[in-house]
Structures are given as C-alpha cells and as structure tokens.
Structure 1
Amino acid sequence: MKKLAIISDIHGSSAGLNRALEQADREGAQRILLLGDLLYHGPRNPLPEGYDPQEVARVLNSRKAQVVGAVRGNCDSEVDQMLIDFAIMGEYAVLLQEERRLFVTHGHHHSMDNLPALSAGDVFMQGHTHVPVAEKREGLYLFNPGSVSLPKDGYPASYGLLDASGLTVKTLDGADLMRTAW
C-alpha cells in the first residue's frame, strides 16, 4: 500500500505547504490527498505566513501526478480552479483503500457531526475546522489533519498520513501529534 499525505486548509501559504510536503517526502508518502481551502485565506482569517496563492498553485501543479483526490473547501472558487491543473471543485470524493471506503470532504457540508452513510471500518476525512482529529468512533475512523497554515485551539500546524497501519496527524516538524490504528 502506498503512503498517502493528507493536506488541508493551506489558505495560500506556500510556507506551510512546502513544509508539509517536505515532511511527507521524508516519511515516504507517494500520493497526496487535498481536503480543500487551497489558495485563498478567507475573509475571517489573517494572512498566513508565506501567503502566495500563485506559488501554492505552482507547487501543487508540479505534483499533480501524485494527487489522488482534491475536494472544494468553502474558500475555494471557480477562479481558483483556473490556476490548478487537476479537479478541485467536487464537494466530496469516495476512494477505496483495500476493503475500506474513504469519504473525503472539506467539512462545511458533511462533517463529523453530520456523517454520510458509511459502514463499520470506513473512514470519514474532513478539514475545515483547523483542529486535528484521529479517532475511532462507533466503528468508523474519523480524521482531520488540521491546517498547515492557520491551526486552531492551540494545536501546531499539521498534516496527515495514511499507511498500512492507520492514520496519523503529524506536525510540520515531523512529530506524531495523534494516531489511530486500523
């Protein structure tokens, strides 16, 4: 099974994206999954460190062959899609990982409090809250990698990894923040 880097809530921060990708590369991640809010910081957020949406688009486009999925966040728009060379406008995606379904969304429609129909052992992934989560609840795996640019609730900037053993939230310094095993 190929290791998957899960990145959310970049909000135009080339600094945060590059740090997450550097760590994911060190961890041996071969694929990338993007959970929305890629380019724009949004009207409620401050400008993140290294705010450069065009550079974020350039970096993501340079890795488009690694991107296995990307969903639209509440700050993403059709204008953003004009800069990105892969589809980002779907509200959600359903991916298969062996026998497990991965329901992937940003989190502003479906969320951990408003789950779609899933089966025991499936994974629900969202971003949006900028707060990391890695837990198993009522037979489902719930995961939020946090934000690479604007973390909340006192958490550090973070991204996620999916591998054969489970789901891990990692800091941009490479430390494990939280984990749930299969």
Structure 2
Amino acid sequence: MTLFIASDLHGSLTAGQAMLERFEQSGARYLLLLGDLLNHGPRNAIPDGYNPVQLAELLNTYADRIIAVRGNCDSEVDQMLLQFPITATYQQVLMPQMRLFLTHGHIYHPDNLPPLQAGDALVYGHTHIATAEYRDGILLINPGSTTIPRNHGRASYALLTASRCDVHALDDNELLLTTAIHHAL
C-alpha cells in the first residue's frame, strides 16, 4: 500500500490542487496531512492562491481518504469547515512493517521524539524542510511544504511504500530524496 504524505498547505488552493493531482497520479490509498492546512499563520506571508474556504471544500471531497493531525496554525474554526478530523495532536498508523507516528512537528520532532521503537517512523511537518532519513533506527519523514518551502527547498510531498520513502517536487514530480525502509528484526 502506498501512502501520500503532505504538510503545510497554509490555505493555498493552488498548492492544494497540485497536491491532489499528484495524489491521484500516485495511486496512493490514503492521504496523510500533517497540519497547517487552511491558515497561513502570522509569521508567513499570504501564499499564492490563498483561498482557505475553497481549499477546505476541495479537501472535503477526499474526506474518506484523509488521515490528518493538527498543526500549530490549525484551529477549531478550521475544523468547522472540514469534514474529516484535524484536531488530534498526533495519530498512529500501523503498517505491516512499521508504526507511523504522525504529528505536525511543533511538539514532537527529531529532537523531542515520542516513545518509538527501532523500525518505527516519525512523520512530521512544521519545518517546511523535506527529510527522509534514519536516525538511531527511527525513520524520520518530513514531506516539506506544498506551499512555503524553506531552506531554498522546493514545494514537495512524500510517498511511503513497504520498501521505500521518496520525497518528490510538487511542480514536476522530480525525486528529491529517497531512503530504503529498514525492517526491524
């Protein structure tokens, strides 16, 4: 099963449309959204295509395929527009080969890990910087941001399968990062 991972849309309908087009092309079964979906946040410039109401309407058409967590810019008002839950600080997804701990990244992150075992994955956003690497036996996955990439990065998303994690550029689907999945003994 392929999982599509995205984060930090920050209300951009343009980025949301591009992300959902890539989601459809990927053949992924589920869309994992790691927070900061509708609000641009007070420290970010208003992104291109900023239209949180229409973005919410578009995301709602995929509600039965979305697993989401709350970002530091998400609020209960945002939840009122969405037909899938976004208020959990974290979610856990069990896959045959590993456990995924989904979070936005402002509470749990590589320097403040939740209780995880070797072979598990921390899947987080918040930094807007893509990552796909192992640290001390834990897979760290950050899809970057679909809307406001940082550190001279490109807008991006991640695909996770049983054998690998790939981070792709949103605009042209170029492979930016990849790592093989290590199976715990």
Q: TM-score range by the shorter chain?
A: over 0.9
Structural mapping, 1:31-180, within 5 Å: 31-67=30-66, 69-172=67-170, 173-180=172-179
Distance 1:43 1:140 in 2: 32
Counterpart CA distance in 1 for 2:116 and 2:29 is: 27
Cα deviation, residue 154, structure 1: 0.3
Deviation at 1:24, TM superposition (A): 2.2
CA deviation string 1:96-123 (max 9, x = no partner): 0114110010000011110011111000
What SS does structure 2 have at the residue aligned with 1:85?
coil
Code of the residue aligned with 2:34 in structure 1: it is L
Partner SS state of residue 141, structure 1: strand
The 1-side partners of 2:20 and 2:157 are apart by: 9
- 1:33-57 superposed Cα distances (whole Å, 9 cap, x missing partner): 0100000000100011110001110
- TM-score, length-scaled by structure 2: 0.95
For structure 2, which runs of at least 5 residues remain unmatched after alignment? none
**Other structure's SS at 2:81 match:** coil
Match of 1:11 in 2: 10
The alpha carbon displacement at 1:22 in A equals: 1.0
TM-score norm. by structure 1 comes to: 0.96
- For structure 1, the 5+ residue unaligned runs are none
Moved over 6 A (4+): none
Give me the identity figure in percent.
50
Task: State the Cα distance separating 1:66 from its structure 2 match.
Answer: 1.1
Instruction: After TM superposition, give the deviation of residue 64 of structure 1 in Å.
Output: 0.7
For the aligned residues, what is the CA RMSD? 0.8
Task: State whether residues 109 and 124 of structure 2, in contact with CA within 8 Å, keep that contact through their aligned partners in structure 1.
Answer: yes
